[in-house]
Structure 1
Amino acid sequence: MVTIVLPTGWTGGRTEFEGTAGLLPEVIRRFADSHPEYRRRLLGPETELLRYINYCVDDDLVPRHARSETTVPAGSTVTVIAPMAGG
């Protein structure tokens, strides 16, 4: 099992969800399949990870160029970091 943590502003309450281990894009796609209410916030029209969303695996920020090859092992936590705007 993997823990997926979403931004509080997205959920209105619960922020931690269960997922399955694997490559980061597959972890997120499977999560979006199980929780379609978050699909548009995580995936583009071709089910690619949105570039402006950041992901941490066990507190390590995953660089955009490394997402497709990043493995999320069982017992890990994936934290989804929404973009921030302001000034």
Structure 2
Amino acid sequence: MFPEAEKVQKKTSCEHHQDCMKIIQLILDGQATDDQITHFKSNVDKCLPCEKGYELEKCIKETMQLRLEKKCVPTSLLDCIKRKIQEL
């Protein structure tokens, strides 16, 4: 018989959880840098809160994409919103 594979003990708390969640959002939105993705991938297997946070955020995003109906927005409304944003 083969010896049992070593199980990696995951951290149960994350001292950088807010920063990790920001990176998770960037990854899911397709805006993360290669370095951020590499760093996240190397650490997610070691940190239970980050793993669970990633799975939850991914699930929420996928659900919203499936459930929300996409509708065309009038150009005049888009222009109005853009002007208001620029005024901020």
> Structure 1 length as normaliser, TM-score?
0.25
Counting helix residues as a fraction of each chain, which structure ranks higher? Answer: 2
User: Could you state the TM-score of these two structures normalised by the residue count of structure 2?
Assistant: 0.25
Structure holding more strand per residue: 1
